[in-house]
Amino acid sequence: NQHGSGHEDIRHGDLLVQSSRYPVIFINFEFRLGIFGWIQGSPGSDIPSNLGMLDQQLLLQWVQRHIGAFGGDPGSVTLMGQSEGANALMSHLVAPGSKGLFHRCLLHSPPADVWSRTANADRTKFMSDRAGCRWKSKRLLQCLRKVPAQKLWGFDWNAEALSRPGQKGFAQNTASLVHFALAQKDMKKAMSDLGWHPVVDGEILPGEPRELIAQGKWNRVPVLITSVKNESYGTIPDTVDPDFMLAFLLKEGDLEPVAQNYSQSLLLAHIQPPSRRELLHQMMTDKMWMCNIRSLARDMARGGGAPHVGMFWHSPRFDPIGALTSKVCAAGAACHAADMSYLLPQGRGFGIDSRLSKEVAFSRQYSNDILSFVYGQAGTWVPFDDAKEAVTLYDVKGPWVVFGYRREQCDVLDVSMNSILPSIMREHR
């Protein structure tokens, strides 16, 4: 919802289509991002919200009308999103306007929903102020339209760029975040406003997605939710202490006692706790991803859904994305987004080096097993239920199932929630 484009080299689906053992049509598309897609006016404003979500629904309507002309089946549409893209799809799972437009859903590494419900408004106000426009003015849109788009875009920042020190855009994004934090006079508040998100408006998005799913009020389609083994290393650069990020998620003063209890839970599972930094990264990966996915899958199962949970366990020899964030990713950890290079193997010289024949073979195996779920053949991916909590781990040897994966660790982490987190996170387990 913040940055990116469907035409980027890493998002082509050419080799996925060519090497698939299933007939598949891969569609990528653009929608409005940042303030252009998620602008939010002051209370009482007539500025429309969720424009980016309406763009996505328009694309899905186009698919229903026209995919048959390309040999596709409008009754077999699967949505796929990764990271914030996965969270965006959560809104479609509960949106009335999205019902019937898709039939399965792939959620890759959806992070815990820890973002402030005022993020869009806070960021719109900040960017408007910097552009010389009054946020509460009835002529806000007219004023913003006079600002060159690139200039307005330059006032914004995104989490991905902030995770890559030294790369293009890092300095500009860091400067924008610092300006925003100073304007907010609260660094924790600034951190909670780190993204743009669909907002509850009672119409396009009738309520909080997690609450509606827990109540059984969602578009029940088969869902496969995956994560990777070392998520946090791909999002927190080596220059940032993971203590800081965990302190944002846990109740104030809880970091040390929770870390001790977490270590004890590992010992009880006959796992030797790692070094301090690695331990904190494990806690972060569980808190932001695995425990959130466990909670989401339980809600779906209890509400009559058909969730499946998987984890990318492979140690990649090819991770051009994670290597920009951490040397641990460059050394073979399965970091945030590492699975995408294997699920969407790229041609045109941008993908896995053909000389890495075992990696190429694994990529084909993994992507085809994901596509088997798309085709309704979920044999690889064991259904998740509230009792057994099956998680399908996947590496170069293939899939295997672990029941109650990270259950004890999540039970430790779930009892501590920072007061700054949204109520649905603080109240929901």
pLDDT tens digits for 113-134?
888 889 999 999 999 999 999 9
Residue 278 lies in a domain: yes
The residue annotated as part of the active site, out of 20, 49, 83, 232, is 83
**By percentage, how much of the chain surpasses pLDDT 90?**
67
For 9, 123, 147, 195, 317, the CA distances from 349, given in Å and listed in that order, are 9, 38, 38, 32, 16
Give the per-residue pLDDT at 4. 54
Give the per-residue pLDDT at 260. 97
Angle, vertex CA 236, rays to CA 231 and CA 240, nearest 5: 150
pLDDT tens digits for 336-364?
999 998 898 764 445 666 667 888 889 99
Residue 1 lies in a domain: no
Residue 398 is part of a domain; what is its CATH number?
Answer: 3.40.50.1820
Q: How confident is the model at residue 424 (pLDDT cuts 50, 70, 90)?
A: confident
Residues 168-190, mean pLDDT to the nearest whole number = 84
pLDDT tens digits for 256-308?
999 999 999 999 999 999 999 999 999 999 999 999 999 999 999 998 899 99
Q: What is the total count of domains within the chain?
A: 1
Q: Are 248 and 418 in contact (CB under 8 A)?
A: yes
Q: Is 326 one of the catalytic residues?
A: no
Host domain of residue 104: 9-32+50-116+207-427
* H or E stretch covering 390: strand 390-395
145, pLDDT greater than 70: yes
Lowest mean pLDDT among 61-65, 93-97, 251-255: 251-255
Which one has a higher pLDDT value, 333 or 165?
333
200, pLDDT greater than 70: yes
Residue 158 lies in a domain: no
Residue 156 lies in a domain: no
* Rounded distance between C-alpha atoms, residue 67 and residue 64, angstroms: 6
Q: Are 120 and 197 in contact (CB under 8 A)?
A: yes
Predicted structure pTM score: 0.93
Residue 196 lies in a domain: no
Residue 195 lies in a domain: no
Residue 364 lies in a domain: yes
Residues 393-412, mean pLDDT to the nearest whole number = 96
Residue 140 lies in a domain: no
